Amino acid sequence: MALVAVGQLTSTASMANNLRQCQLLVKKAVRAGARALFLPEASDYIASSGEETISLAKSAQESEFLVGLQEEARREKLPIHVGIHELGQDSRKVKNTVLWIDEHGEIAQRYQKIHLFDVDIKDGPVLKESNSVERGSQILPPFSTTLGKVASTICFDLRFPEISLALKRQGADIITFPSAFTVPTGKAHWEILLRARAIETQSYVIAAAQVGRHNEKRVSYGHSMIIDPWGTVLADLGSNDGEPEIATAEIDLELLKKIRREMPLSRRTDVYPEV
């Protein structure tokens, strides 16, 4: 078994402050004995407008946030899974990505968000992510780690089970959903969707979430979670937006194998297409 940590913070437009928050989470994860730390979507910054989102984006080599986090991973020999912004192909947009920084501080995996959050909720938020963010175009296969095979998605991808089912078919043991869910959608759907993805793929789900008020326009739901392949919530950080916090849980690949062996989910691909 391997102990993992999921982190929760309130990112703002200050990358220096966001790095300090993440450095604190690294210290807490190391102190807890975690073998890896999972951080939310957009841990580097959350801006108050699309224009500000674009203006703050930097290359991986120039981002003080990313370079600082790579140094933390290298010094502590702790893999870090973290959501950031990167420069887009089009200068008018950025990429919403999640990185796996290995224990040597190197970027070993990079996934770009496929489904963008374009919503207009009555009496709730109006967010058009596609105005400032480029869509990804590829589901990346799970990659091998000391925890098992890890697969990455981001936030709104959670609502599309096809991705998780495809990742399970490709051998995922752990599926991640780093996120910044709004409060209305979080209250209604967050835990339900995460548990559904865990149950239908018989995989561990790790969902690091932003929490609290980022600026005058944006508030996130929190409730970072770790869920086992049976759908049991092993950790839930709630909605406290004070000091950045972690929660930990064990990844038990023997339990995963037992669940998949005792309740095999055999697809009827003769009746419907394989995802």
Side-chain half-sphere exposure of 68, counting CA atoms within 13 A: 17
Rounded (5°) CA angle 81-150-186: 65
Measured from the Cβ of residue 51, the count of other Cβ atoms closer than 10 Å reads 12
d(CA 88, CA 134): 7
What single DSSP character describes residue 241?
A: -
- Radius of gyration, CA atoms only, the chain: 18
d(CA 178, CA 55): 23
**What residues act catalytically?**
41, 113, 155
d(CA 129, CA 96): 10
